[in-house]
């Protein structure tokens, strides 16, 4: 059970004020303490005055072993489309090869390799070592040669299969290697134990062409966005699904089915000690045999993601593991000298050569096992590294060293990121080793009051890079089925506001299991994903729109000179205003904008509340300007304007 008290720190606000209003997670047997006053019966004297950006630590909720405060789940907004389950097979005990053939390599039976699809190999060897995770004992790699003549060297990894429930090992452990071919044609593969100078016979295999989109890169057309290898722009709509609640496979399958059904395409997953972490107090350093179940479960999550066209931002290190103050877990960290490690204090982790060597070993295993996946958006070095005592210059040096190490074993050159809760470091975020930056924000005010300024702040820290909105929430303490905002208004406005302010993703909400699922809010993702379907946001940029009455609503655009997306929101439509408090539908508004070429256009209106396209009307742009009557609406309304 992870019951971690969160020190709620905010930029520009005194600690004593924050602690008066913000509380950490409650004991296991109690309901969590609200982070903010009860807005259902507001008391102005209790409402804190917050700065523009409310920066809080990532919420950490009870571990998946407890169900004491977790609301019962409800079904998704609509029944998920049937998805295939992950095929799970227990391998038989391998037969050792003859003594004069110390290493053999064979393709997994039944696998037909294709471009951007997983090709998995089983390796058998008579070489036995005490710790198969230590490359100093056995440096087992596979050398691949592509049809182009390019060679790739990727480490093999030690693997243990589990039964379909993920609870018990099945079959004997052994070696595997994974490749994702990027070209069709004839490939060769040859295994090698480099430290023993032993090689297998080379084998050849044919890779079929495919229409897969490939790995995710920085968009060549517009570096503020992502794109696939085939050039298609990728704009993530998603949320955090950091760990499971009670049953890892059923939980992730249910959540990803709901997200996929509603058009979502990105989740953020933590390799924390209570979830998918492979090295912790129970393993010691450098031997992951006691965490092979966690590694196998992460395999299944990647396969589920592949089947549902969902991508993963994989967080390698959580701040609490190296903190003594915020979500502190340092006392249980194997790098701690008290647990047999080499570090008296957490910051030693990034400067001590022995600690670096052990983490390089972990990186090698992670890259070998999951680097194959085109569904891996990025490796995220740290979640909210500012909650650790690590010094800025030490972190810069560590990132440079570890990126070199990671690139050796990740020939696909996945994107790399890091996150801060506050006080982001320009020296870190502007590093060429950091592919894109992140925003984490917990703020009960409407997103319209802060998202624009936050975007400009992040753009100044790392100009020209995509800005992923990695975490978002109304509260960093708890949101659940009893929360004030049970309609998901804050979630809704975060999804739309981030999109129209130029972020590289929608705002990714945090409370997936205690709030979004039990309140059945998955349809909010369908609202924005349906509207954006078929749009290439990399060809658009935030523009200017003027409403005839800006006191009652805001208007935002994404546009170029021939296409315009429009979102208009009632200023009263925010989390603190619900039901009858919204008043009557807005009537008689008119919107105007500039920037489109002169000519005839078609306007198609869209209702974000129902995710339905509405009436279509013609307009004409003259002298680069148009005036457009807005249909009556209560909460918000959107439109697509394209040439006729």
Query: Could you tell me if 408 and 152 are in contact, meaning their C-beta atoms sit under 8 angstroms apart?
Result: no
Q: Residue 581 has what pLDDT?
A: 83
Give the CATH number, domain containing residue 130.
2.60.40
Q: Average the pLDDT over 183-195 and give the result.
A: 95
526 and 557 co-located in one domain: no
324 and 237 co-located in one domain: yes
- Point out the least confidently predicted range of 198-202, 279-283, 295-299, 432-436: 198-202
Cα separation, 319 vs 418, in Å, equals 11
Q: In 461-549, where do the E strands start and end?
A: 467-473, 541-542, 545-547
274 and 184 co-located in one domain: no
Cα separation, 487 vs 595, in Å, equals 36
Q: Looking at the domain assignment, is residue 81 inside a domain?
A: no
Q: Looking at the domain assignment, is residue 58 inside a domain?
A: no
Q: Residue 102 has what pLDDT?
A: 64
Give the CATH number, domain containing residue 606.
2.60.40.1180
Q: Which of 229, 209, 208 is nearest to 375 (CA)?
A: 229
Residue matched to tokens 């596979």:
142
% pLDDT > 90, the chain: 80
390 and 498 co-located in one domain: yes
Q: Which residue has the higher pLDDT, 425 or 578?
A: 425
Q: Residue 59 has what pLDDT?
A: 64
Q: Looking at the domain assignment, is residue 44 inside a domain?
A: no
303 and 391 co-located in one domain: yes
pLDDT-derived band at 103 (thresholds 50, 70, 90) equals confident
Q: Looking at the domain assignment, is residue 419 inside a domain?
A: yes
530 and 546 co-located in one domain: no
Per-residue pLDDT for 98 more than 70? no
Q: Looking at the domain assignment, is residue 55 inside a domain?
A: no
Q: Residue 10 has what pLDDT?
A: 34
Q: Residue 187 has what pLDDT?
A: 95
Q: Looking at the domain assignment, is residue 425 inside a domain?
A: yes
Out of 174, 207, 240, a domain closes at 207
Per-residue pLDDT for 79 more than 50? no
Cα separation, 207 vs 186, in Å, equals 6
Q: Looking at the domain assignment, is residue 36 inside a domain?
A: no
Q: Average the pLDDT over 355-360 and give the result.
A: 98
Q: Average the pLDDT over 561-569 and give the result.
A: 98
**pLDDT 10s digits, 419-443:** 999 889 999 999 999 999 999 999 9
Per-residue pLDDT for 89 more than 90? no
Out of 481, 500, 535, a domain closes at 535
Query: Could you tell me if 181 and 374 are in contact, meaning their C-beta atoms sit under 8 angstroms apart?
Result: no
409 and 494 co-located in one domain: yes
214 CB-side CA count, 13 A:
19
Q: Which of 481, 444, 421, 417 is nearest to 268 (CA)?
A: 417
436 and 415 co-located in one domain: yes
DSSP 580-627: GGG-SPB-S-EEEEE-SPSEEEEEEEEETTTTEEEEEEEEEEBTTEEE
Q: What does DSSP say about strands 625-629 and 590-594: parallel, antiparallel, or unpaired?
A: antiparallel
Q: What does DSSP say about strands 266-270 and 311-318: parallel, antiparallel, or unpaired?
A: parallel
Cα separation, 480 vs 511, in Å, equals 8
Query: Could you tell me if 193 and 138 are in contact, meaning their C-beta atoms sit under 8 angstroms apart?
Result: yes
392 and 512 co-located in one domain: yes
Q: Residue 109 has what pLDDT?
A: 56
Q: Which domain holds residue 512?
A: 220-535
Domain count across the chain: 3
596 and 487 co-located in one domain: no
**pLDDT 10s digits, 400-425:** 999 999 999 999 999 999 999 988 99
Query: Could you tell me if 591 and 555 are in contact, meaning their C-beta atoms sit under 8 angstroms apart?
Result: yes
Cα separation, 237 vs 255, in Å, equals 14
**CB neighbours of 150 closer than 8 A, spacing ≥ 6?**
none
Q: Average the pLDDT over 327-356 and give the result.
A: 98
pLDDT-derived band at 93 (thresholds 50, 70, 90) equals very low
447 and 528 co-located in one domain: yes
522 and 556 co-located in one domain: no
Cα separation, 85 vs 34, in Å, equals 38
Q: Residue 15 has what pLDDT?
A: 31
Give the CATH number, domain containing residue 517.
3.20.20.80
Mean pLDDT, the chain, whole residue set: 87
Cα separation, 372 vs 497, in Å, equals 34
Q: State the pTM of this model.
A: 0.87
Out of 162, 179, 207, a domain closes at 207
Instruction: Specify the DSSP class assigned to residue 231.
Output: S
């Amino acid at each position: 059970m992870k019951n971690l008290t969160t020190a709620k720190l905010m930029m520009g606000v005194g600690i004593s004020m924050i602690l008066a209003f913000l509380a950490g997670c409650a004991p296991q047997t109690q309901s969590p303490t609200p982070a903010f006053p009860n807005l259902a019966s507001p008391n102005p004297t209790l409402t804190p005055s917050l700065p523009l950006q409310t920066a809080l630590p990532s919420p950490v909720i009870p571990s998946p072993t407890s169900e004491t405060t977790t609301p019962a789940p409800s079904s998704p907004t609509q029944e998920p489309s049937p998805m295939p389950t992950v095929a799970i097979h227990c391998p038989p005990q391998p037969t050792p090869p003859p003594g004069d053939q110390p290493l053999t390599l064979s393709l997994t039976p039944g696998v037909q390799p294709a471009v951007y699809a997983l090709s998995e190999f089983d390796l058998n060897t008579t070489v036995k070592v005490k710790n198969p995770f230590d490359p100093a004992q056995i440096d087992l790699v596979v050398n691949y040669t592509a049809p182009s003549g390019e060679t790739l060297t990727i480490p093999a990894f030690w693997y243990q299969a589990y039964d379909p429930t993920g609870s018990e090992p099945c079959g004997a452990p052994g070696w595997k290697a994974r490749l994702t071919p990027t070209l069709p044609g004839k490939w060769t593969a040859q295994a090698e134990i480099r430290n023993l100078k032993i090689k297998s016979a080379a084998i050849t295999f044919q890779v079929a062409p495919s229409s897969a989109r490939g790995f995710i890169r920085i968009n060549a057309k517009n570096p503020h966005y992502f794109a696939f290898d085939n050039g298609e722009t990728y704009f993530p709509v998603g949320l955090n699904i950091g760990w499971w609640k009670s049953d890892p496979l059923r939980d992730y399958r249910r959540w990803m089915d709901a997200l996929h059904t509603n058009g979502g395409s990105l989740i953020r997953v933590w390799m924390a000690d209570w979830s998918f972490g492979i090295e912790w107090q129970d393993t010691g350093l450098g031997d992951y045999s006691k965490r092979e179940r966690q590694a196998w479960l992460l395999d299944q999550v990647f396969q589920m993601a592949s089947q549902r066209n969902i991508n993963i931002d994989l967080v390698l290190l959580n701040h609490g593991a190296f903190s003594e103050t915020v979500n502190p877990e340092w006392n249980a960290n194997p790098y701690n000298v008290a647990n047999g490690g080499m570090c008296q204090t957490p910051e030693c982790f990034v400067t001590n050569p022995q600690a670096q060597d052990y983490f390089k070993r972990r990186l090698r295993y992670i890259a070998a096992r999951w680097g194959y996946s085109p569904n891996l958006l990025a490796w995220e070095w740290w979640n909210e590294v500012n909650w650790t005592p690590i010094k800025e210059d030490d972190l810069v040096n560590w990132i440079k060293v570890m990126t070199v190490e990671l690139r050796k074993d990740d020939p696909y050159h996945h994107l790399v990121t890091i996150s801060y809760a506050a006080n982001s470091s320009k020296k870190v975020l502007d590093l060429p080793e950091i592919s894109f930056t992140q925003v984490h924000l917990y703020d009960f005010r409407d997103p319209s009051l802060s998202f624009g300024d936050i975007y400009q702040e992040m753009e100044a820290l790392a100009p020209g890079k995509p800005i992923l909105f990695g975490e978002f929430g109304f509260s960093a303490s708890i949101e659940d089925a009893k929360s004030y905002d049970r309609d998901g208004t804050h979630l809704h406005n975060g999804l739309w506001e981030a999109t129209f302010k130029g972020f590289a993703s929608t705002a990714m909400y945090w409370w997936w299991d205690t709030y979004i699922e039990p309140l059945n809010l998955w349809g909010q993702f369908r609202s924005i994903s349906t509207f954006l379907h078929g749009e290439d946001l990399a060809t658009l940029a935030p523009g200017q729109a003027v409403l005839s009455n800006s006191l009652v609503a805001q208007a935002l655009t994404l546009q170029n000179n021939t296409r315009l997306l429009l979102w208009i929101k009632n200023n009263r439509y925010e989390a603190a205003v619900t039901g009858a408090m919204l008043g009557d539908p807005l009537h008689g508004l008119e919107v105007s904008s500039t920037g489109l070429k002169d000519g005839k256009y078609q306007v198609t209106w869209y209702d974000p509340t129902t995710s339905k396209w509405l009436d279509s009307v013609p307009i004409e742009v003259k002298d680069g300007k148009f005036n457009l009557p807005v249909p009556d609406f209560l909460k918000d309304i959107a439109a697509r304007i394209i040439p006729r």
